[in-house]
Structure 1
Amino acid sequence: MTKIAVLGAGSWGTALANTMAKNGQQVMIWSHKADQAAEINERHQNDRYLPGAKLEDNLQATDQMAAAVSGADIVLFVVPTKAIRQVAKQLAAILLANKQSVILAHAAKGLEQKTHLRISQMLVEEIPADCYSGLAVISGPSHAEDVVKGDLTAISIGSNDVRAAEALQGALANAHFRPYTNHDLIGSELGGALKNIIAIGSGMLIGKGYGANAQAALLTRGLVEIREVGQALGAQPETFLGLAGIGDLIVTGMSPNSRNYRAGVALASGKPLAQVEEEMGMVIEGVNTIKAVVDFEKEYDLDLPITRTLYQVIYEGKTIDQGINDLMTRPLKAED
């Protein structure tokens, strides 16, 4: 039995923790809210994020990070990108005090604002090397709402450390949840972050009344842009043809369970971004990630027309209709 600390009690953190608890692992989920931890312990529910879901009786929760981490073999971060550094600093202090080394993993999907760093890069900056023995990322097509009710799901665990990836794989695998491993940490992180941008665009198309043809075209050409950015930043191009790439893009770009997709639909209805973010009640990672990718386009001399147009719509006042027209009437070219 593996002891696992899951940092973050949102929908995805809870779903992953519940999956591992169902597998008989010793799992403790950390929330910064005492009432949320109490709800998980006493009622076996997390109604704000997974309404109606019944959690495993052996899943434990706490609002004390030190209690969650003590004796853990694996520490899994599932907090919004903007909270990664703060939580990592807290974890580093605990691990140093305990003289403890763990496998570090995360299931967050974004890039840091301003620095544009990936999550693993942020963790490495904040947590001393002596405090961890491997680093991995969970990515792939996986809505928490479906995972927690036992829908069939396959994900990818990216890591440069085979032992770390296989430890997570063993903790998560069951008849409903199938994890694969890959050796491309960079590509796995970028696939998970960049698909959120394209998902916003997909929601906009549906919100504007377009159909499956338009959606398929956007997702396919969006994948080309994701691959271009990934290769520029050192990812393996084949990663984007797997679960961490096209798989995650399909589910995020086509499902109403995706907050990025729903944000696109809401923006197409005429709601301003601030209102959409407030009504969503959860972080819309693609809204921030798009800023980083526009900077990458300039820095690496890339051509990312979909991403660039979405940036203009979200931040520069271009209408969605004009953005669609601009994309469809660009100079003709060969498919790449």
Structure 2
Amino acid sequence: MNDNNCDGLRIGVVGSGSWGTAIANLLALKGFSIDLWAFEKNIKEDIANFSENRIFLPGVKLSPNIHPSNDLKKVASGKDLLLLVVPSHVMRETANKISDFVTKDMTIVSASKGIENKTHLTMTGVLSEIFSNIPENLFAVLSGPSFASEVAKKIPTLVAVASKNQKTAELVQHAFATPYFRVYTSNDITGVELGGATKNVIAIAAGMADGLNFGLNTRAAIITRGLTEIRRLGLNLGANPRTFVGLAGVGDLILTCTGNLSRNYTVGKLLGEGKKIDDILSEMKMVAEGVKTAKSVYNLSQRIGVEMPISCEIYNILYNDISPKEAVHRLMTRELREELDEI
């Protein structure tokens, strides 16, 4: 099925974190019957018994149209639309487990944001490699400024769905669209995914600045120069530069750098306050994607020769034990230059 008529669409959602649960509920409230895969047995039981994900989306009453399961085969088999919403570092492992259940006519949507450490592939890159029987025009990515808890509360939210095929993008657009969740289409998968992944690294920097008690000047500078880095990387990888002034670019960047609901901002703030990254992560229930993505972005930028000084210093703080204050000094005393890139 790959048209704009969503009636009877069979949908599976793989991943029951806050975002996976929120979008499963959004679709369920539209009347779709949603099979939702949970890794944890207690989450599956909570949703089944109490209609609530008390770990990752507490306080939100979930639709009875959500059918939770710990069985990947049940959730992935026989679907028209399959959404993968798992942390980026387990995307490959999860996709491998369901590869025998996906068929060449399924539409595959990634709603995860990250870049794989070893391969430097985005999530659709990982999925297209594993689901090699599915044509590239049936892959899509959903991204944009969208905190799960706010979507669950039906707060007006705008996102983008990208696919190389317009009909695929429109199918996902119509499936998700509600009066409080507006979806725009794009054909720039590369730009949408890079924007969604790399903004998490910049959000750590923004949070760190607040943890150091810097002011609004600093935050504005980080967002602006961070966007320059994201755009620079994207252009070198073939993205459309206009994507980075859209929802999946500057929109998601602003949200993640300024919202106290952002896990990556929170990690950065705690780093700025002097806490160690291992201690921060050990106390977090949910994944801050920017921590692992910082390594991917650093290694990728070094490999292809793209200058990303803020991202580089976040990598040094996370993996080389450089202090936040030293990183700030290094950034502020770099060689002076013109603001605008040539491209």
TM-score by length of 2: 0.93
1:49 and 2:56 matched: yes
The alignment partner of 1:75 has SS state of strand
1:75 and 2:79 matched: no
270-279 vs 52-61, which moves further: 52-61
How far off is 1:240 after superposition? Answer: 0.6
Q: Contact conserved, 1:6 with 1:17, CA < 8 A, in 2?
A: yes
The equivalent of 2:4 in structure 1 is none
Q: Contact conserved, 2:191 with 2:240, CA < 8 A, in 1?
A: yes
1:170 and 2:207 matched: no
Give me the whole-angstrom Cα distance separating, in 2, the residues matched to 1:32 and 1:187. Answer: 30
The equivalent of 2:30 in structure 1 is 23
The partner residue of 1:10 within 7, 17, 35 is: 17
Give me the whole-angstrom Cα distance separating, in 2, the residues matched to 1:256 and 1:334. Answer: 33
Matches within 5 A, 1:205-284: 205-284=209-288
321-330 vs 172-181, which moves further: 321-330
Give me the whole-angstrom Cα distance separating, in 1, the residues matched to 2:262 and 2:20. Answer: 15
Describe the superposition over 1:84-110 as per-residue Cα deviations: whole angstroms up to 9, x where unpaired. 112111221123xxx563100111111
How far off is 1:67 after superposition? Answer: 1.8
Q: Contact conserved, 1:106 with 1:137, CA < 8 A, in 2?
A: yes
How far off is 1:63 after superposition? Answer: 1.3
Give me the whole-angstrom Cα distance separating, in 2, the residues matched to 1:47 and 1:20. Answer: 19
Matches within 5 A, 1:40-119: 40-95=47-102, 101-119=105-123
The equivalent of 1:147 in structure 2 is 151
CA-based RMSD:
1.5
How far off is 1:133 after superposition? Answer: 6.0
The equivalent of 1:322 in structure 2 is 326
Give me the whole-angstrom Cα distance separating, in 2, the residues matched to 1:26 and 1:133. Answer: 25
Which AA in structure 2 matches 1:289?
T
The equivalent of 1:203 in structure 2 is 207
Q: Contact conserved, 1:101 with 1:133, CA < 8 A, in 2?
A: no
Cα 1:21–1:303 change in 2 (3 A) is same
The equivalent of 2:44 in structure 1 is 37
Which AA in structure 2 matches 1:54?
K
How far off is 1:302 after superposition? Answer: 2.0
How far off is 1:45 after superposition? Answer: 0.2
Q: Contact conserved, 1:103 with 1:132, CA < 8 A, in 2?
A: no
Which AA in structure 2 matches 1:245?
G
The equivalent of 2:297 in structure 1 is 293
Give me the whole-angstrom Cα distance separating, in 1, the residues matched to 2:73 and 2:104. Answer: 12
Give me the whole-angstrom Cα distance separating, in 1, the residues matched to 2:176 and 2:233. Answer: 30
Cα 1:229–1:41 change in 2 (3 A) is same
Give me the whole-angstrom Cα distance separating, in 2, the residues matched to 1:110 and 1:75. Answer: 18
How far off is 1:131 after superposition? Answer: 7.8
311-320 vs 127-136, which moves further: 127-136
Identity %: 39
Which AA in structure 2 matches 1:247?
G
Which AA in structure 1 matches 2:143?
S
Which AA in structure 1 matches 2:55?
R
The alignment partner of 1:116 has SS state of coil
Which AA in structure 1 matches 2:246?
G
Q: Contact conserved, 1:192 with 1:245, CA < 8 A, in 2?
A: yes
Which AA in structure 2 matches 1:199?
A
How far off is 1:65 after superposition? Answer: 1.8
123-132 vs 64-73, which moves further: 123-132
Q: Contact conserved, 1:139 with 1:244, CA < 8 A, in 2?
A: yes
Aligned residues: 333
Which AA in structure 1 matches 2:220?
A
Cα 1:197–1:30 change in 2 (3 A) is same
Give me the whole-angstrom Cα distance separating, in 2, the residues matched to 1:120 and 1:100. Answer: 15
- Show structure 2 runs of 5+ residues with no match: 1-6
Describe the superposition over 1:128-178 as per-residue Cα deviations: whole angstroms up to 9, x where unpaired. 324886000011000001110111100000110112111111111111000
Give me the whole-angstrom Cα distance separating, in 1, the residues matched to 2:94 and 2:129. Answer: 13
1:181 and 2:188 matched: no
How far off is 1:262 after superposition? Answer: 0.3
How far off is 1:19 after superposition? Answer: 0.6
The alignment partner of 1:32 has SS state of coil
Give me the whole-angstrom Cα distance separating, in 1, the residues matched to 2:39 and 2:325. Answer: 42
TM-score by length of 1: 0.95
- Show structure 1 runs of 5+ residues with no match: none
How far off is 1:326 after superposition? Answer: 2.0
